[in-house]
Chain A
């Protein structure tokens, strides 16, 4: 008798300030991460915006001890969901164009990233752009660190082959 559960709500002004800081710290990097995943800036912005919307109520409810990590996972999941929804259409469309002012090696990488599987691209971008350790990437991708190592190894091998 007498056992109850209840969340610890963070005072709203504290949560808002934390969200504001989170946005200042993470929005640009998250959008770039999504851009590398998708090759498209417009969709990357949409997905990052959606991810911030998802973070807010959880931040207010005091459910997040690492909001940045939650945000990153939301962005990766959002990218994956978008790619999945594109399904067949994606396979029959040309790769999105590289930024107009990109250098040759950047264009090559932009195209080479599109040749990776979704999971290889996720692992490579999280490791080489977000600088995450393998264990954290494994947490985001819901797989084992050994699998992350394998995805990165194979992904980098493909990139090297495409870029040479």
Chain B
């Protein structure tokens, strides 16, 4: 066959596809045949399944239904990547049609299925306040308003409203008299246009919510704050929803408490503190005292707490979104500086937190939950910065109406009856959880066997070497790639440059060049302030040793370790804030024994700690309690190599190393890595003979944590086999242990895997960049970031691409 041009490939591809699938018979003829066998009907238009004719066959129908529902659940993303609509950002304002309501602020509003319900509020009238008791509905599809008939409630401001699915329930609010909110409520049925009064709540209502289909009121009386649930059956209230929330003074309606319910827990934010279930004691989270929480929003799995305040001498206003995940008890805070004076209200608009500014501001502020970035919306057709507006998210648009505005800086406040709608489409994909994503192109040339450390804010990548015989090409986006493949005999080029990657901004910065070139023999560790690199060029007598300080973007040479040229395979381990251990050995040198040396960072001094006779090298070492546990290889008399393990207690100058003997099948394993997972020491090993089997062990047979305080409970050391992963791999980066104890391993030649809380393993899929070996990996606390390496296990060139995986 002659070489195909692109159009020819396209043509053949279309012909092949048409040949392979001539029609969609599975939905028509073929499906109905299959379905007939199961005695069920499939409605092709709706894809619904129902039993038919013979009742005895209903069981079969149910089984098919379960299978199809399970397939739907699978396809909807519960066990795999969730599809998202392609990005196509749309942020577009329109002005709402003039409303029939008078200008006002503090109206209650709620989205009522297909229309927006707005009721009550307050307005200035002849230098006094009025409290209108009328309302209206707005249909965004037709941009039309309709007045709501008068109901049983007196006019009031700052009432709350919820939608039950059939009725709007409205209650609470302040009617201009008294020192507390009102306890009375009423329900409005938009289908019939009728109102009915409901029984009073057991106290002044601060907030109404729908919790599991029940109307729940936050009420406060007798200096207590509690929850009351409404029973529509006998039109009564009960208060068993939760224990009293208040241990301090009860909040008033004028106070700044904010509430949300998530996973059965009640969250209250007051001032700069966030509480769970109990208010006023043991805050769950505390902002800097110059910041104040302004609202709590709950998604299906996390709490979004929005705050604001002034920080620093320039008095810039700050916006803060704290993302709190109760499942992991982990908080992430995202802050941005703003010059606007404040936030009027916030709402969850799809995958975006929308902040409506207070008084001044031509548009809203958006925080994109998909990318954790703040986004500027275009200017609105009317000023949307206003005091106590009504705001709602329809699923497509953010609607803002009413409130009080300030035409000029010195002008008095004036209520308004104007409104605007912001269409928000596909701002970003949902946050990538349990999925890989590609990270930004790096400024570094392709490389492999480089080192990488996580500083707490950045991933520093340095050194390594370049394998390639192709041409280095600079891409349009600034990244660098190599065209063509390496051939046998191509030179490996050592590299002395590096860069730092900030995942919060998805950006890179170059770092200063090191005083020596990288090689595959270098190792690095983060001390808390510096990245220390130790290693050697095999052709040079003196080992390399230097420290990089990201604060000054500079390197300093440190004392080199006292090891001879025969030792060139290293493992570097930080055992406390002031001491490093360097394990060195050589797989290829039968006469040289592996050894360990300790480095005192402050004194810049190396001290020999042990020489392991017969041991060729140490593969991995970890700190478990106050001991160091390591695995390595030992050469036998017949020349074979077996896996060995060693442990030693950190006792200053008098370390003693001894075998601890749990390595599985020492004569058949290779590449043993170890990691501590919730007190278990887990080993990860490939099978030396077949390179196909992976065995996992830990030494915690009864589930009791091995590490109690700072000591290892040796009495519980019994090995047990963990489930086999079912995946083959020959080599991998160090296992990564997540905050919830999961273990992630990015394999070579195969899928990456993750061990879940149940101990089982599952694939986490392929990264969106090609990796085979020689890549680096760091764990940021939320993400596993891999970068560089070789894409093709059979040759090819080094790469300069990376990806991040965030466990779900």
Contacts and interface: CB of A to CB of B under 8 A. Distances in A.
Interface of A: 1-9, 16, 19-20, 23, 27-28, 31-33, 35-36, 41, 44-46, 48-54, 56-57, 62-66, 69-70, 73-74, 76-78, 80-81, 84-85, 87-88, 98-99, 101-106, 108-110, 117-119, 125, 128-129, 136, 139-144, 146-147, 150, 156, 159-160, 163-164
Nearest to B23: A28
Contacts of A16: 45-46
Given A56-B47, A146-B476, A77 B9 contact: no
Given A9-B114, A27-B27, A119-B770, 5 more contacts: A1-B345, A2-B107, A6-B113, A51-B75, A118-B766
Contact of B83 (A31, A70, A84): A70
B15 A103 contact: yes
Nearest to A21: B45
B18 interface: yes
B276 to A, nearest CB: 21
Contact of B17 (A118, A129, A140): A129
Given A2-B161, A5-B393, A31 B24 contact: yes
A140 B21 contact: no
A-B pairs, 10 with minimum CB distance? A73-B83, A8-B395, A32-B17, A139-B86, A6-B111, A54-B75, A3-B347, A45-B26, A50-B75, A7-B395
Contacts of B114: 8-9
A45 B801 CA distance: 35
Contacts of B432: 142
Given A19-B46, A105-B1, A150-B481, A5 B348 contact: yes
B74 interface: yes
B602 interface: no
Looking at A8, A52, A108, which has the most chain B CB atoms within 10 Å of its CB? A8
27 contacts: A2-B160, A4-B393, A8-B396, A23-B27, A35-B17, A46-B71, A53-B47, A62-B395, A65-B425, A73-B85, A78-B75, A87-B727, A88-B727, A99-B16, A106-B19, A109-B9, A109-B16, A110-B20, A119-B770, A128-B10, A129-B14, A139-B86, A139-B87, A146-B477, A163-B3, A164-B1, A164-B3
Given A8-B395, A105-B1, A160-B4, A54 B76 contact: yes
B441 interface: yes
Nearest to A117: B770
B363 interface: no
B715 interface: no
B770 A4 contact: no
Contacts of A62: 395-396
Contacts of A3: 295, 345-347, 391-393
Contacts of B475: 146
A13 B15 CA distance: 37
A5 B349 contact: yes
Contacts of A85: 763
Interface in B6-34: 6, 9-10, 12-21, 23-24, 26-27, 30
A163 to B, nearest CB: 5
Interface residues of B, number: 95
B378 interface: no
B81 A156 contact: no
Nearest to A56: B47
B549 interface: no
Contact of B390 (A2, A87, A147): A2
B20 A99 contact: yes
Interface in B151-171: 158, 160-163
Contacts of A129: 10, 13-14, 17
A37 B19 CA distance: 14
B189 interface: no
A6 B371 CA distance: 22
Contacts of A54: 72, 75-77, 83
Interface string B735-753: 0000000000000001100
Contacts of A88: 726-728, 750
Contacts of A73: 83-86
B435 interface: yes
Given A53-B75, A84-B766, A70 B85 contact: yes
A27 B30 CA distance: 14
A18 to B, nearest CB: 10
